[in-house]
Structure 1
């Protein structure tokens, strides 16, 4: 990329008098709608299997395809944000999401439902990097923590109420209301953004490198798909190991090409900034730890404690609500004290909670689960947004789209890897316990086998969280590049 050209253009857009409030409100509404939807559908899988007469392997495509599309699309958003304005990107994303939601709500068949889900994923994949990039553009480095904290509130509040809301809608109405309920919210987001969202991006219109896009699609798509499918069909299946091989080769070639072309679609020079590199690795580790809980706890509550989906959602909701409340608080504290005083205690809390979960037993009550879950999510709220803000603050303005795209992409990859890893460990631990049991058909032994597998998964999660704690020791406050400081002044 021609850095000189970008920097010249970067100064052409005067953001000093722009009204931030309406812009942030528009972003928050859109993010809440998209992220709420992402957590609504999984709980409806049993109903959808009956409705469309499909197997569990088939119904999982509603989740796999969603993650796959986002994993493929997000790397390209760095390029798209240099070709299209903030308004164009965000409105297009929300309109696509709205269209996909309507299709899902009125679908006559599973195939049409899957198409609607893919369209929703395109909208979400376009929107999330735009949201983070806009916050970086309109706030000076010294006050970004609070704004990122508000985004964090929305990102965590959606998953907190999603399962409970989904359980309530399914119990009282039917699964189609999971989409009907989102339609007016998505429509309002489009109208509000149309009225209040201003353009804050600089259009440099770099050359479109089709080869890079193809390699990115093969690389990230292959890795996300193979890990997503491995938990379902196993690592020995040719579909898994060949797509993983293609993904790794594609990713290596993609990285090589980004380093040799003049205008890369994903500028890897962001990794020249040490705190960005450190936090990117920390976020990968953090996402895997988070996924261990997101995957295992609903299974524990429903299969071991025999809760309904609605009650399981209610049990997990307090932690999510506390996390959402803590996110803006952590953001304000970050602006005042920097990252270290938040990230280190946060990682300690995460490690303690993961250690407690590794001792999970069938005798745990809902109160025990709620308490440990709250500790975990308070820790996550102290780490996630402060660490990401620290990393992105170090980048010059022209690398904002690339930095946000890199982080969002790698978090999708970490999510896929984490899901596959912890499902595999849990399944293996369960099988080993049952194989050594004197009465493997006894329902009590089946439950104990499931708990044993969960314990194994949380032990690995504990090791990963300790690694995150070690990385967190090296985090420190970053200074904005000189051109950023001058612009803020």
Structure 2
């Protein structure tokens, strides 16, 4: 282990932030390119959707395993391997002559991203003392929120003016820069213990998390009655129960669930799960409303969401600094209240909704999320002892993937049910005007569900308190 007191953190943060930027940007960069990809490869929408579904599935399967990978390989090995895989996947995607090659490139990108997300959070938790982690996580939050926010707008510009391949060509220099800077400045800050790897746990983890993410993602598109949906969720649920049971029995678990013995971390895990269900689902619902009800183009809908995304990113470092000074409650409780109010505003959306009201409501949501997201994660991870940091970051990132899949499936199901109910009560259900009104009614129902979820998160937030990190207590005892 190196001397963390004399470590130059600035260059390391630069490498991490550039790497995180390209990984986060990549998650929303593809959406507007789907129509062009369907034409280029003569593929259906269901086939092209696998570019996103497979990406999320691989990330969801790989993240739980990263805790043990970080104990087998050095920080430099993990980061450079993750970014190299991401670079290779991006290059393969850019030059792909067939859809299968493009899908392979996306899967390789996802492997790199799945390794990268928890690794970066763990590096920050390691190189910064507890009293400075909020600011550092806030800087990371700037990238995590800002990059996906500009993704739809940027992809709309690129697809309109250039080939879809430029979505990958433009990412390549940033990925290469992160590799070069990382190779030059990144130090090994984690301890390589090489614990015994339990293969059965990895198999159960893959089936469990993969089955749940895939099953719920498919339910959102195909409906809950499909046998494939039912069986994948059931298999995932059984495997997940067996995985949890096995982790509690093992001396060296793949994912150490003893992190849940720490009450603040356990509360944060539940709070993040509930909050992210709403956050990811809103990101899907809003473009559907703007394009399906207000008849906006994909590019314009991306522009409408841009101010909120930018403001959210700019607020993340500020909320991190405030966390370091005042603790989580001062930020989290107002943030959750603001998020609940914004979702209530979303229930007013209809065919006559103005662009200004849309932007204002979305900005309100993004301000609330900025006050909550990074502070609450930092509060939870701060309570864990250092040896549990890799497991804590893996748990939170896994919950992010699972909650996103479950939330989107629930929201789309509620939306579809609301639209069907509306159309069943009108005289001409085939009318395009009535279909549009039905879609608006269904989306309103989904956002009312979001209000309830946000209020549950607010109640959970009331129990959050600031705890001293274990290393702070050791320093004071000495």
Give the TM-score normalised by the residue count of structure 1.
0.96
Q: What does residue 7 of structure 1 align with?
A: none
1:137 to 126, 134, 153: 126
The corresponding residue for 1:76 is 65
Q: Distance in 1 between matches of 2:94 and 2:476?
A: 46
Structure 1 position 385 matched with structure 2 position 374: yes
Counterpart residue number, 2:265: 276
Who is 2:466 aligned against? Answer: 477
Alignment partners' CA distance in 1, 2:373 and 2:303? 24
Alignment match of 1:30 (pick from 19, 22, 27): 19
Decide which moves more: 295-304 or 377-386: 295-304
CA distance in 1, matches of 2:73, 2:371: 34
TM-superposed deviation, 1:221: 0.6
CA contact (8 A) 1:147 1:331 kept: yes
Contact 1:434 / 1:440 at 8 angstroms: preserved in 2?
yes
Match of 2:113 among 124, 127, 130: 124
- Indicate the residue corresponding to 1:15 in structure 2: 4
Q: In the comparison of the two structures, how many residue pairs are matched? A: 478
Match status 1:296 vs 2:285? yes
Q: Cα–Cα, structure 1 residues 275 and 467, in superposed 2: closer, same or farther, change >3 Å?
A: same
**Structure 2 equivalent of residue 4 of structure 1:** none
Equivalent residue, structure 1, for 2:176: 187
8 Å Cα contact 1:140/1:488 also seen in 2: no
* Greater mean alpha carbon deviation, residues 180-189 or residues 266-275: 180-189
In structure 1, how many angstroms separate the alpha carbons of the residues matched to 2:280 and 2:471?
38
1:446 corresponds in structure 2 to 435
Residue 292 of structure 1, CA deviation: 2.4
CA-to-aligned-CA distance 1:286-314 (integer Å, 9 cap, x gap): 10110221011111111211111111111
RMSD of Structure 2 on Structure 1 (CA): 1.3
Equivalence map 1:413-432=2 (5 Å): 413-432=402-421
Deviation track 1:397-442 (CA, whole Å, cap 9, x = no partner) reads 0000000000000110001101111111111111111121112222
Displacement of 1:395 in angstroms is: 0.2
- Structure 2, unaligned stretches of length 5 or more? none
User: Are the aligned partners of 1:86 and 1:199 in contact in 2 as well (CA < 8 Å)?
Assistant: yes
Match of 2:54 in 1: 65
Shift of 1:96: 0.3
Q: Using the TM superposition, give the Cα deviation of residue 482 of structure 1 relative to its aligned residue in structure 2, in angstroms.
A: 4.6
* Secondary structure of 1:476's aligned partner: coil
Moved over 3 A (4+): 482-485
In structure 1, stretches of 5+ residues that fail to align are 1-11
Whole-angstrom CA distance in 1 between matches of 2:287 and 2:182: 35
Confirm or deny that 1:408 pairs with 2:397: yes
Matched, 1:225 2:214: yes
How far apart, in 2, do the equivalents of 1:67 and 1:80 lie?
A: 20
Asked if the contact 1:57–1:232 (Cα under 8 Å) also holds between the matched residues in 2, the reply is no
| Partner secondary structure for residue 82 of structure 1 | helix
1:55 to partner: Cα distance:
1.4
TM alignment of 1:223-372, pairs within 5 A? 223-372=212-361
Structure 1 position 488, deviation (Å): 12
C-alpha distance in 1 between matches for 2:275 and 2:113: 21
Residue 475 of structure 2 corresponds to 486
1:46 matched residue in structure 2: 35
The alpha carbon displacement at 1:375 in A equals: 0.5
Contact 1:90–1:130 (8 Å) recurs in 2? yes
Distance in 2 between residues matched to 1:299 and 1:478, nearest whole Å: 41
Which segment drifts farther, 41-50 or 12-21? 12-21
1:484, distance to aligned residue in structure 2 (A):
6.5
**Does structure 1 retain, via aligned residues, the 8 Å contact 2:2–2:188?**
no
* Partner Cα distance (1:15, 1:83) in 2: 21
**Preserved CA contact (<8 Å) 1:396 1:484:** no
User: Of the candidates 53, 75, 97, which is equivalent to residue 108 of structure 1?
Assistant: 97
1:468 counterpart residue number: 457
Q: Alpha-carbon deviation of 1:46?
A: 1.3
Taking the aligned partners of 1:263 and 1:484, their CA distance within structure 2 comes to 26
In 1: Cα distance, 2:121 partner to 2:109 partner: 19
Kindly state the Cα deviation for residue 15 of structure 1 after the two structures are TM-superposed: 1.4
Q: Distance in 1 between matches of 2:262 and 2:99?
A: 46
Are 2:293 and 2:350, in contact at CA under 8 Å, matched by a contact in 1? Answer: no
**Partner residue of 2:157?**
168
Q: Distance in 1 between matches of 2:373 and 2:309?
A: 14
Kept after mapping to 1: 8 A contact 2:208/2:243: yes
The 2-side partners of 1:456 and 1:301 are apart by 16
TM-score where L is the length of structure 2? 0.98
Counterpart of 1:81 in 2: which secondary structure?
helix
Aligned residues of 1:43 and 1:166 also touching (Cα < 8 A): yes
Query: 1:343–1:387: 8 Å Cα contact kept in structure 2?
Result: yes
- Matched position secondary structure for 1:438: coil
